[in-house]
Structure 1
Amino acid sequence: MGYNTYAEEGSLKISEDVIATIAGTAAADVKGVAGLSLRPLSDTKGIVRRKPGHRAIRMEMHDGEAVLDLFVNLYLGAHIPEVATELQMRVKDAVQTMTGISVSKVHVHVAGVVLTNEEPIVE
């Protein structure tokens, strides 16, 4: 699946994988984010399982606008409301800027916490 636009000159199709890559790259730059997480699924007994195809970033189109669900792991000590707000702003801006697709919502799901409060030092 993907996002399609049509004009007199031709058409453009942007894959959901491309949008997920853009969103993931933007998310990785947010302080406090340890990484993306596969979307968890619970069975009837409440056991969380992960299945192929359940991605860290999911996109749906509603009335011509994208709604993104982003599943992330955060570092211990990260202030979740601040990190979530930053994620929403950066992901929305990156996707809209690079694709021209209007993003109405970015839902942030904190799937896990990395049990260290230190982010890796990048030199």
Structure 2
Amino acid sequence: MSENTGKVEKSLHINQDVIAQIITNSMAEVEGVYGVAPVMKTPRQIWLRQESVGNIRIGLVDDVLSVSIGVILNNGTNAITAAEMIQEQVKSAVQTMLGLTVAKVNVTICGVHFSED
């Protein structure tokens, strides 16, 4: 009898939409953040009725992630403090949930939301 002692190769593929959703959820915990800045949908997204996760760009090289996020802040929010908190929250959430190293998180303030109170 031959004994099969071959190793099983394992792999995990994570869709960028999943990473973007983790980023979006982690940003929701930061005080003063209204949301992710919207982006224009591509014709393909319109045709396939795909949802856009907003202005989030993800780069992945050798299990090291770099993220760029466009955000909208609530009126009266300190932009520097909010950006720093976003960077910390996103890095922590992605590293905890996915085990990927986050090299950098770039935050661009794209707008300010004025409430209609």
Q: Same fold (TM over 0.5)?
A: yes
Q: Tell me if 1:33 matches 2:9.
A: no
Per-residue displacement from partner, 1:19-48 (whole Å, max 9, x unpaired)?
000010000110000111124xxxxxxxxx
Q: Report the CA distance shift for 1:31/1:61 in structure 2 as closer, same or farther (over 3 A).
A: same
Question: Greater CA deviation, 24-33 or 50-59?
Answer: 50-59
* SS of equivalent residue, structure 2 residue 11: strand
* SS of equivalent residue, structure 2 residue 31: coil
Give 2:11's aligned residue: 11
Q: CA deviation at 1:9?
A: 4.2
Q: Tell me if 1:78 matches 2:77.
A: yes
Q: Report the CA distance shift for 1:8/1:102 in structure 2 as closer, same or farther (over 3 A).
A: farther
The structure where strand makes up a greater share of residues is 1
Conservation of the 8 A alpha-carbon contact between 1:31 and 1:83: yes
Q: CA deviation at 1:71?
A: 1.1
Structure 2: runs of 5+ lacking an equivalent: 1-6, 46-51
Q: CA deviation at 1:101?
A: 0.8
The structure where helix makes up a greater share of residues is 2
Structure 1: runs of 5+ lacking an equivalent: 1-6, 40-49, 119-123
Distance 2:20 2:36 in 1: 11
Identity %: 36
Moved over 6 A (4+): none
Distance 1:17 1:59 in 2: 10
Q: CA deviation at 1:56?
A: 1.9
Q: CA deviation at 1:61?
A: 1.5
Q: CA deviation at 1:63?
A: 4.6
The alignment of Structure 1 onto Structure 2 pairs a total of residues equal to 102
- Normalising by structure 1, report the TM-score: 0.74
